[in-house]
Amino acid sequence: MINSAITEDGGLRERKRLLTRAAICTTARQLTTDKGLSGFTVEELCEQVGVSRRTFFNYFPSKEDAVLGQSDDHRPDDLIEDFLASAGTLPLLEALVEFAAAAGGRLAITREEFAQLHAVIQREPQLLVKLFGDSAVKQKEFAALIARRENLAADDPRAIMAAQLIGHLAWQSTHAFFLGEDGPTFRHLLESHVDAAQYLFTSGAPRPSPEGTP
C-alpha cells in the first residue's frame, strides 16, 4: 500500500517546484520588459524571486532560458513510449497528432504568460535566435524519433519533413490557442490545422509540370 503521507509530501514538493519555476520565468520576463535583457543580472533576478543563485541554475542554464521558459526537465518520456509503441497500430500522421495534442495539453503556461513572453520577444528579438536554435535541435531529435518508429534512416527526408510539418502545425495551433479568446481546445485547433494541410495533398489538383516540360 502506498503511504499517503509520502504521496502528499511528494505532491507538495512538485507543486512547490512548479511554483518556483513559474516565479523565475515571470520575474525574468517582467525584468526584461522593464529593463531589457542586459539590464539586470541573474543575482538581481534571484533576489526578487527569493531564491539562491544555485537554485536558479537548478532550473535554468541561463537567463535567456529563464525568459523563454526552456529547460530539459519536461521531456515527455511516457508520450514518447506511447508514440513508439503505436507503430503498426496507428498511421504515422494520426500518431503524430496524438503526440502533439497530448504534449500541448501539458503546456504549463497561461494565456497571460504567453502574451507576456510574446511582448518580451518583441522587445528583445534576438531571443528568437535562441528559441529557434533550440527548436532546430529538438526538431532534429524528433525526426530521429519518427525515423526510429518508421524503421527509417535517421536522416531520411520523410522523417525530417514529418517533424518539420507537425512542428509548424503545433506552433500555429499554440499561437492561435494562447493569443485567441477562450474557445476551441488546443487539440481541436491542431486537428483543424492538420486537416487544412491534408487538403493541400489530397485535393486532387494536378501538379504543374516544371517549366520547359510537356
Q: pLDDT digits over 62-104, tens only?
A: 999 898 887 655 567 888 999 999 999 999 999 999 999 888 7
Torsion angle of the four alpha carbons 53, 122, 124, 140, in this order, in degrees rounded to the nearest 10: 80
- Residue 51 cell numbers, joined: 531564491
Assigned CATH topology for domain 74-202 = Tetracycline Repressor; domain 2 (1.10.357)
- Cα–Cα distance measured from residue 97 to residue 78, given in angstroms and rounded to the nearest whole number: 16
In this prediction, residue 127 carries a pLDDT of 84
Residues of CATH 1.10.357.10 domain(s) within the chain?
74-202
If one counts every other C-beta atom within 10 angstroms of the C-beta of residue 38, the result is: 9
Residues of CATH 1.10.10.60 domain(s) within the chain?
1-67
- Stretches where the chain sits below pLDDT 70 are 1-10, 71-75, 105-109, 131-134, 181-182, 203-214
Q: Roughly what angle, to the nearest 10 degrees, separates helices 4-35 and 111-123?
A: 30
Class for the domain spanning 1-67:
mainly alpha
